[in-house]
Structure 1
Amino acid sequence: MNTYSCETHINHALDVFVAEQGKFPIMEVASKEEKLSTKCTYCEELAMYVVANE
């Protein structure tokens, strides 16, 4: 499971991940390429973070 998040929605993304997966996620800063082309899962802003299980 990968969720992309902007600065505003990172806490929500972490909460949703824990609620759905039942474990703590890995949170990483999005790569330069991802920052240029990937939007937040929750809004239209560019993604700053990737929340993932691996």
Structure 2
Amino acid sequence: MVYCCEEHVEVALDTIVDEYETFPQLAKIEEEEKLSTTCEYCRNPATYVVSNV
């Protein structure tokens, strides 16, 4: 699972495909979760979570 901002969505999608060789799932983070969740690439507030589930 990768948390990312809008700028790094493509990078996160590529990471999941490379690591798990499966189609990634993209979900928008709820407002209350945004407060403490940061992008794993730049530490800006995360907007999406990309996973292999």
**Same fold per TM (> 0.5)?**
yes
Name the SS for the 2:6 alignment partner.
coil
How many angstroms apart in 1 are the aligned matches of 2:30 and 2:51?
14
Structure 2: tracts of 5 or more residues without a match: none
Root-mean-square deviation (CA), in Å?
0.8
Match of 1:17 in 2: 16
Offset at 1:36? 1.4
> What TM-score results when the alignment is normalised by the length of structure 1?
0.89
Are the aligned partners of 1:5 and 1:47 in contact in 2 as well (CA < 8 Å)?
Answer: yes
Structure 1: tracts of 5 or more residues without a match: none
List structure 1 segments (4+ residues) > 4 angstroms apart after TM superposition. Answer: none
> What TM-score results when the alignment is normalised by the length of structure 2?
0.91
* Matched residue count: 53
Percent identity reads 47
* Structure 2 counterpart of 1:45, one-letter code: N
